[in-house]
Amino acid sequence: MTTTLAIANQKGGVAKTTTVASLGAALAELGQRVLLVDLDPQACLTFSLGIDPEDLELSVHHVLTKGLAPGEAVIATEDGVDLLPATIELARAEADLLTRTGREHVLKMALEDLAAGEAGGHDWVLLDCPPSLGVLTVAALTAADGVLIPLQCETLSHRGVGQLLDTVHDVRRFTNRGLEVWGVLPTLYDGRTNHARAVLDNISETYELEVIEPPIPKSIRFAEAPAAGRSILSTARSNRGANAYRDVAANLLERAGRST
């Protein structure tokens, strides 16, 4: 079975894309077959994995709005994961999908078609959601088994969590009754400050969300990795941040009931 996990937070700058790339690479290291889906028109995930969006003729935009078979757009990457890439064309998808019947299910159907057309398919599909609560994010939540919320450990960064949870509630009511919130993943964490821990405690108490351990520490290595077109697990294998994502990946495997 495939586990589909949406990585979502409508606030930008909380390491969503870094989390998708790094978790994908960590799961691949553990022997899992992984597909990453870039749903952000900025295409940061695509670029971070060494692919220039401007060089692409086919992308997730064509899958969602033109009926392209998803397998025709999937690319293998050097990090050992497959990628359904994005380009700036995806910015038009919100408008294209607004008037389409069943728009919430378009990604779910594409992923089902992809799984049906492959020998064995993927063990994990990680969805890099855009920093908004629009059509693409709702489609991702509709396609997902669970949602993981990266959260920078600062007071202002968690003000939108309630809005995201409201959207999750609506998705559960109307399009995906089985959607689960897997928890909050602390990112850009500075363990030297009491403030960071206080923010985490406040989140777990206010929203009754599980905090996924370990927190992902701040590191300049995360900013350096995209320039190399690889994840931090390839560019700085022994870095604390890389090892933290490995631990999180192992925890997610256990939650999903998988063995390595």
pLDDT < 50: residue spans in the chain:
260
The candidate with the shortest Cα–Cα distance to 183, out of 205, 150, 138, 142, is 150
Residue 157: per-residue pLDDT = 64
Residue 258: per-residue pLDDT = 66
**How many other C-beta atoms are found inside a 10 Å radius of the C-beta of residue 39?**
27
Residue 234: per-residue pLDDT = 83
Residue 82: per-residue pLDDT = 97
How many residues are present in the chain? 260
pLDDT (tens digit per residue) in 74-119: 999 999 999 999 999 999 988 899 888 899 999 999 999 999 876 5
The candidate with the shortest Cα–Cα distance to 164, out of 176, 147, 178, is 147
CA distances from 114 to 73, 81, 241, 247 (A): 10, 15, 32, 29
Residue 21: per-residue pLDDT = 95
Full-model pTM: 0.94
